[in-house]
Amino acid sequence: MSGPLQELPVGVQNFPEIIKDSLVYVDKTAYISEMISRHGVKAWLLSRPRRFGKSLVFSTLKTLFSGQRELFNGLAIENRLDEKIFAPRPVIALDMSLVTNNLGIAELQNSLGRVTSSSAIWREDEKASISPLFPSAEPSRFERPLPPGEILFDLIKNMSTRSGQKVAVLIDEYDKPYMDLIRTPEEAEKIRVTMRDYYTRLKAADEYISFIFITGIGKFARMGVFSSLNNLLDISTIPEFAAICGFTHQELSGRLGAYVEEAAIKLGKKRDDLLEELKDYYDGFSFDGKTRVYNPFSTLLFFTVKKFNNFWFNSGTPKVIAQYIKDNRLTVEEFHGRTVSKAFVENPGEIDTAAPMSLLYQAGYLSLRADDSDGEYVLDYPNREVYQSMSRLLVGNFLGGDINADDAFRYLRKILGSGDPDALIGEFAKLLAKIPYDIYSKANREDIKINNIEIKFGEWMYHANLLSFLIGSGVNVRAKARASQGQSDLVVSREGRVWVIELKMAQNGDDAAVAKAALKQIREKDYAAPYDNPILLGIAINEAKRTIGAWEVGYKTRR
């Protein structure tokens, strides 16, 4: 490396600002070129999780259509800008995050009208002669305000008529006014109706529109966007657009390679080793089941502070997710490796009525893994950041205000590093004691598969929540870890010390015997064979008392 590196655009979603301030830009204009030049497609939808770069795509299109061609010098799209299809045109750029949605429907409509009226963008040389002629959302004392949908229609028509060109309509975060109030169904429904009526005006204005681009978290049919735009192409799961947001591994090691090297030097790591850590921690988001991308927000923040942290999850995990997990008594493990159909992937349903798996998928906490010949996909946590954060969220829900989760995690890490089995059992017992009774009742009615291994009766609940406790603490843990003769329940490592743990249910008061049997199984199946000097721990869960009834400790030295 020579000289200082370019500054990183952490949290910056404004394309002109990135280019003018010489911030790092990972070139995504080839995708934009493909959209604009695709014959027969006028309207586009891109759904992605929050803080994933949707707004940057929106801003890039706005910049391009408004004629700021000089900002695209050196980018993939530059050599196509002389083509007619890329010519500047009137633009309506609607940022729905600016709409006021918490002061009642009347204010929502007024706010939507104001946002719409201020959304027109013209080339500077045309601005003076045309822009004053558009309707305003602000009524006089004796006039009633126009409905926001009418303002949108009039704006599109007037811009097209007076300029002699069709208009590009760009809508960022189309679903945000609705999503913000999803926990209050009555208010959310009123907002949905208002937004549906607004978006349906796009269909009436179709003859005046040349291009539509819409971003959001999900695809919610009842919002009215999709029934209005029957020519809408949803590119959210199409392979050729899978990397339009986020960074591929090639982009990380190439365009951002200098930042990898700088961080490796700072942290005293080899470059390739750091790349593997970054891949484990921030890669793994997939929107087509094959292409994987790094979370851009977390990755850029890592390069800024040169420290692993759960940046994306901590930057604003919606309260709806935390409350939803708590209300529905969800465990983290029940979403691992869940098979879903192609129909589910393309239409996961309305977020207010969807199953938990659908909600977590649309919000980005579950990601697509692979599709097979039957057209099915697998959902799983994308990476360590999300998996660990979801685990911490679950444990925090259980512990409540009685025990500080961060203190519990810190103490657990200390115990695992010191090798004190009695203290470890004590911490496990505290967690199990906090799990609500109805969770145990649910566990006794249902089985679950983890890594395709079926766990019977209530055992999975204990297994899943202890695993969440361990994952949430940030230690290295594997569930159903394969050995030569079978699979141990848990393998945990901390500061060079390895624990091999087997759980069994004791249903007849035979806790001690069951604990001995669990330890015996570890030995006989040689679960500890791959590890140096592991601690072996057989645990018996007393089903009646819903806690740890007995445990047996063993040690094994590699010969």
Examine the pLDDT at 135 and tell me if it is beyond 60. no
Residues 527 and 492 reside in one and the same domain: yes
Residue 281 sits at φ, ψ, to 5 deg, of: -85, -40
C-alpha–C-alpha distance, residues 206 and 460, integer Å:
54
Q: Which of 219, 178, 174, 229 is nearest to 347 (CA)?
A: 219
- DSSP for residue 9: -
Q: Is the dihedral of CA 510, 511, 513, 519 positive or negative?
A: positive
pLDDT bucket at 444, cuts 50 / 70 / 90: very low
* Residue where a domain terminates, one of 192, 217, 241: 241
Examine the pLDDT at 423 and tell me if it is beyond 90. yes
Cβ atoms of 520 and 484 closer than 8 Å = no
Averaged pLDDT, 378-398: 87
pLDDT bucket at 141, cuts 50 / 70 / 90: very low
Structure tokens at 88: 């500047």
pLDDT reported for residue 98: 93
pLDDT reported for residue 201: 92
pLDDT reported for residue 236: 93
Q: How many independent structural domains does the chain possess?
A: 4
In sequence order, the β-bridge partners of residue 535 are: 499, 555
Q: Which of 79-83, 84-88, 148-152, 488-492 has the lowest mean pLDDT?
A: 488-492
Residue 77 lies in a domain: yes
C-alpha–C-alpha distance, residues 397 and 466, integer Å:
14
pLDDT reported for residue 468: 85
Averaged pLDDT, 94-122: 89
pLDDT reported for residue 132: 40
Q: Is the dihedral of CA 158, 159, 162, 164 positive or negative?
A: negative
In sequence order, the β-bridge partners of residue 338 are: 379
Residues 55 and 126 reside in one and the same domain: yes
Helix orientation angle between 384-399 and 271-282, rounded to the nearest 10 degrees: 50
Averaged pLDDT, 480-485: 62
Residue 530 lies in a domain: yes
The three-state secondary structure class of 6 is coil
The three-state secondary structure class of 47 is strand
Averaged pLDDT, 265-294: 96
Residue 90 lies in a domain: yes
Average pLDDT, the chain: 84
Segment (H or E) for 168: strand 167-172
pLDDT bucket at 100, cuts 50 / 70 / 90: confident
Q: Cα 473–478–479 angle (5° rounding)?
A: 110
Q: Tens digits of per-residue pLDDT, 206-235?
A: 999 999 999 998 776 555 677 777 778 999
The residue with tokens 């055992």 is 459
What are the angstrom distances between the C-alpha of 5 and each of 149, 208, 304?
A: 47, 45, 11
Q: Which of 6, 97, 89 is nearest to 51 (CA)?
A: 97
Residue 6 lies in a domain: no
What are the angstrom distances between the C-alpha of 147 and each of 93, 139, 191, 279, 548?
A: 19, 11, 14, 49, 63
Residues 253 and 236 reside in one and the same domain: no
Q: Which of 124, 207, 109, 210 is nearest to 168 (CA)?
A: 210
Q: Which of 322, 328, 383 is nearest to 356 (CA)?
A: 328
pLDDT reported for residue 84: 94
Examine the pLDDT at 548 and tell me if it is beyond 70. yes
The residue with tokens 């303002």 is 151
Examine the pLDDT at 363 and tell me if it is beyond 50. yes
Residue 46 sits at φ, ψ, to 5 deg, of: -130, 115
CB environment 278-294: b (16+ within 10 A), e (fewer): bbebbbbbbbbbebbbb
* CATH code where residue 476 lies: 3.40.1350
Q: How far apart are the first and last CA of the chain?
A: 46
pLDDT bucket at 404, cuts 50 / 70 / 90: confident
pTM of the model: 0.86
Cβ atoms of 162 and 133 closer than 8 Å = yes
Residues 280 and 331 reside in one and the same domain: no
Residues 57 and 194 reside in one and the same domain: yes
CB environment 432-465: b (16+ within 10 A), e (fewer): beebeeebbeebeeeebebeeeebeebbbbbbbb
Residues 226 and 115 reside in one and the same domain: yes
Alpha helices in 306-419 (DSSP H): 311-314, 319-327, 342-346, 356-363, 384-399, 405-418
C-alpha–C-alpha distance, residues 172 and 96, integer Å:
6
Residue 3 lies in a domain: no
Residues 544 and 447 reside in one and the same domain: yes
Residue 391 lies in a domain: no
The residue with tokens 């297994």 is 463
Q: Which of 91-105, 130-144, 500-514 has the lowest mean pLDDT?
A: 130-144
Residue 4 lies in a domain: no
Examine the pLDDT at 31 and tell me if it is beyond 60. yes
Examine the pLDDT at 316 and tell me if it is beyond 80. no
Helix orientation angle between 405-418 and 421-434, rounded to the nearest 10 degrees: 150
Examine the pLDDT at 559 and tell me if it is beyond 50. no
Structure tokens at 365: 């906490």
pLDDT bucket at 436, cuts 50 / 70 / 90: low
Residue 344 lies in a domain: yes
Residues 160 and 279 reside in one and the same domain: no
Residues 262 and 195 reside in one and the same domain: no
What is the span of the domain harbouring residue 255?
249-309
Examine the pLDDT at 265 and tell me if it is beyond 70. yes
Residues 478 and 515 reside in one and the same domain: yes
Residues 179 and 36 reside in one and the same domain: yes
% of the chain surpassing 90 pLDDT: 52
Residues 237 and 253 reside in one and the same domain: no
Cβ atoms of 522 and 488 closer than 8 Å = yes
CB neighbour list of residue 284: distance below 8 Å, 6 or more residues apart: 292, 367, 381, 382, 383
What are the angstrom distances between the C-alpha of 355 and each of 328, 337, 339, 344, 351?
A: 10, 16, 14, 11, 8
Q: Cα 253–289–342 angle (5° rounding)?
A: 165
Q: Which of 92, 88, 100, 86 is nearest to 116 (CA)?
A: 92
Cβ atoms of 259 and 207 closer than 8 Å = no
Examine the pLDDT at 109 and tell me if it is beyond 60. yes
